[in-house]
């Protein structure tokens, strides 16, 4: 080969763009948002589609009914039960990395409700336990934050017809929604995908669910991950 041609090949090789790294989907996903926003439904669907292990927030908190009735001391008892149980569930699953994981809660969100519900003295004690438990929990690769207005959430709570949840006041619901917005405005421990569900109801309408899944299949500008959802 002539010398000039050899030099041309070398220059072309030097100018060739580097090969893009292969896409790696998230191994752990946490879905978050206020009550009745659809966390458990989406977590269940994604876990099935991604063949992932499922971790769900405890629904059998024995102190929750008294908390909704605003009984004295119930807030602290309910919060500590959630803290301990959430830590236990995540710890057990994170000990093995054999399969992806999808949870319908983020461990750090425990503090959202602690700061809303506990008084100063209770918070001091709670913080000591929280820091001890949080040290052993890995943050997820991706957090999907589901938003909805308090009015929409109130309608969904009414449709759920849960006697305990019906006692949640509008003022408390608005406070929780604001606390979530403040928390995720500063959140940086994982990649974050925010989806407003006020105009869609993917829990009760399958068409809305399929629309949401199609969005999750496409790369989203400004986020690192998208979800390659195959048939379940």
Query: Could you tell me how many residues make up the chain?
Result: 232
pLDDT mean by block of 10 residues, the chain; 232 residues: 48 53 74 94 90 90 90 95 96 82 95 95 96 93 94 91 83 95 93 90 88 73 53 44
By the 8 A CB rule, do 177 and 157 touch?
Answer: no
Percentage above 70 pLDDT, the chain:
82
For residue 11, the tally of other CB atoms under 10 A from its CB is 10
Tens digits of per-residue pLDDT, 7-58? Answer: 544 554 455 555 555 556 688 999 999 999 999 999 999 999 888 999 999 9
DSSP letter assigned to residue 119: -
> In DSSP terms, which residues pair with 142 in a beta bridge?
29, 191
For residue 14, give every residue at least 6 positions away whose Cβ sits within 8 Å of its Cβ, in sequence order, or none. none
Q: Going from the N-terminus, what domains does the chain have, and what CATH number goes with each?
A: 28-217 (3.40.50.300)
SS3 letters across 154-217: HHHHHHHCCCCHHHCCHHHHHHHHHHHHHHHHCCCCCEEEEEECCCCCCCCCHHHHHHHHHHHH
Whole-model pTM? 0.82
């Amino acid at each position: 080969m002539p010398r000039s041609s050899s030099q041309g090949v070398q220059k072309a090789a030097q100018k060739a763009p580097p090969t893009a790294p292969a896409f790696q989907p998230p191994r752990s996903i946490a879905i978050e948002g206020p009550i009745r926003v659809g966390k458990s439904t989406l977590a269940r669907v994604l876990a099935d589609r991604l063949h992932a292990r499922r971790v769900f927030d405890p629904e059998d908190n024995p102190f929750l009914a008294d908390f909704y009735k605003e009984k004295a001391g119930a807030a602290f008892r309910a919060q500590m039960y959630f803290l301990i149980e959430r830590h236990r569930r995540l710890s057990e699953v994170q000990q093995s990395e054999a399969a992806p994981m999808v949870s319908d809660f983020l461990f750090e969100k425990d503090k959202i409700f602690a700061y809303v519900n506990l008084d100063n003295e209770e918070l001091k004690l709670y913080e000591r336990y929280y820091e001890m438990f949080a040290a052993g929990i890995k943050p997820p690769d991706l957090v999907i934050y589901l938003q909805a207005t308090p009015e929409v959430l109130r309608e969904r709570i009414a449709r759920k017809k849960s006697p305990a949840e019906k006692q949640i006041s509008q003022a408390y619901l608005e406070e929780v929604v604001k606390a979530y917005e403040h928390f995720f405005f500063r959140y940086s421990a994982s990649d974050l995908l925010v989806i407003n569900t006020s105009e869609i109801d993917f829990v009760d309408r399958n068409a809305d669910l399929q629309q949401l899944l199609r969005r999750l299949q496409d790369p989203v500008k400004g986020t690192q991950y998208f979800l390659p959802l195959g048939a379940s």
